Amino acid sequence: MGLFNKILGGKKDYGVMEYEELDLSEYEQEFLEEEPAEAYVRVAELTGMSELPEIRRQIYEGNIVIVDISMIKHDKLVMDRAIKELKRVAADVRGDIAGLKEDHLVITPTGIRIDRTKISGGEK
């Protein structure tokens, strides 16, 4: 019997593990009953220029918007126009815009800046 088996108390069958599904609806309900927030983090999927008015409205209302641009990456003209428009909106509200990896943008409203340094465990 190896050291590993001694620690675990002998040989055991580690077949398919059983799991229990958790019903998270009771926790979600607590959040739904709270008062509305001053601002929200909204998620949008950009498939063309038609979504831009709603994204623009959300930013003007003071919400942070995370935009999935993966659906328009194949059309360089649409992607360039959309990003140019979103940059204009961010500048107009004195917010910020930054890319997250290759498929997402974050646009913030007035008074919120995006820190482009990554948080790490070490001291600086």
State percent of the chain over pLDDT 90: 63
Average pLDDT, the chain: 85
The model's pTM? 0.69
Do residues 105 and 67 make contact, with C-beta atoms less than 8 angstroms apart? yes
The architecture in CATH of the region 38-108 reads: 2-Layer Sandwich (3.30)
112/63 Cα distance (integer angstroms): 10
90/115 Cα distance (integer angstroms): 15
Residues 57-115 pLDDT 10s: 999 999 999 999 999 999 999 999 999 999 999 999 999 999 998 999 999 999 999 99
Indicate if the pLDDT at residue 16 is higher than 90.
no
> For the stretch 95-123, what's the b/e string if a residue is b when 16 or more beta carbons lie within 10 angstroms of its beta carbon?
bbbeeeeeebbbbbbeeeeeeeeeeeeee
The domain spans of the chain are 38-108
Indicate if the pLDDT at residue 2 is higher than 80.
no
